[in-house]
Amino acid sequence: MKDARAQFGRTAAAYVTSTTHASGADLERLIAVAAPLPSERALDVGCGVGHTLRRIAPLVSFAAGADATFEMMQAGRDSVVTAPNAAFAQSDASALPFADASFDLATCRLAAHHFTDVAAAFLDVRRVLRPGGRFVLVDNYAPDDPALDRFINEVEQLRDASHVRNHSIAGWRQLLEDAGLRTSVESDLMTTKITTEGWLERSQTPADRAAEVRRRLRDAPAAARDTFQITETTFTVPKIVILARRSA
């Protein structure tokens, strides 16, 4: 977690204006799948600067965002989240500072691949959800093919040392199920198109590592070029939206 705090503390301002995080089809789908109600209490885990919190807070009675990095939350307070019923809490995802069964809804968007112990984080999400409570996970996933899995995760780690792992779809599901979160049969699959240079700039990737990322994308094997739609300036990453519920 130390790497993540250092990384996002340094780059917090960039996430306020990042279109990948501030908007997108996956954020709209998260809201639709979460289906927040005015009487509910909601929690966004790994909230960053609060783009998901900003959308959910007006739809519920109370919304909290938890993140390990103070600078990210401060940037969110200053310019993203203005709803009077929203609050931030600095916390590791695996040690949430909330009572058992205190939320009806939890979300986690584009953050879990940074969690040092994602299994422990999902267990704590289950703890703070009431029985039957909903958890919506949105994150990148790795293909089942081991070579493609290795390719995208190594590129991600070169770009950002705080990256831990994009799991496969089956891997994400298993982590949720192991935590006592029953996943829905249906999941949404989508992709995010990334502009390589903007992506590297946002994370302030050191020059030598950025050069290696460019080389790997440029020299990617045919299977990786096709799967991730790699061009001279862009590529895509696959993303999943999963709805899970806390079992009783």
pLDDT for 118-128, tens place per residue? Answer: 999 999 999 99
192: helix, coil or strand? strand
Structure tokens at 76: 């969110």
Residue 90, pLDDT score: 92
Asked if residue 243 has pLDDT above 70, the reply is yes
Which of 78, 43, 71, 74 shows the shortest CA–CA distance to 57? Answer: 43
What amino acid is encoded at 43 in this protein? Answer: L
Mean pLDDT score, 4-33:
66
pTM of the model: 0.89
**Pairing state between β 129-140 and 62-67:** unpaired
Question: Judging by DSSP bridges, how do beta strands 41-45 and 62-67 pair with one another?
Answer: parallel
Class of 2-143+163-191+239-246 in CATH: alpha beta
Question: In whole angstroms, what separates CA 142 from the centre of its chain?
Answer: 14
Share above pLDDT 70 across residues of the chain, in percent, rounded to a whole number: 89
Structure confidence at residue 73 (pLDDT): 80
Task: Please state whether beta strands 103-109 and 181-183 pair in parallel, antiparallel, or not at all (unpaired).
Answer: unpaired
What mean pLDDT value characterizes the chain? Answer: 89
CA-nearest of 58, 149, 164, 170 to 111 is 164
- 95: enclosing H helix or E strand: none
Residue 217 three-state SS: helix
Q: Give the residue-averaged pLDDT of 219-248.
A: 95
Q: b/e string for 12-39 if b means 16 or more Cβ within 10 A?
A: bebbbebebbeebebbebbeebbebeee
The answer for 8, left when phi > 0, alpha when psi is -120 to 50, beta otherwise, is: alpha
Mean pLDDT within 28-55? 93
What distance in Å separates the CA atoms of residue 112 and residue 90, rounded to the nearest whole number? Answer: 16
73/16: higher pLDDT: 73
Q: Is the pLDDT of residue 198 over 60?
A: yes
Judged against a pLDDT cut of 80, whether residue 57 lies above it is answered with yes
pLDDT band at 69 (very low <50, low <70, confident <90, very high): confident
Q: What is the mean pLDDT of residues 167-179?
A: 96
Residue 164 reports pLDDT greater than 70: yes
Which DSSP helix (H) or strand (E) runs through 20? helix 19-22
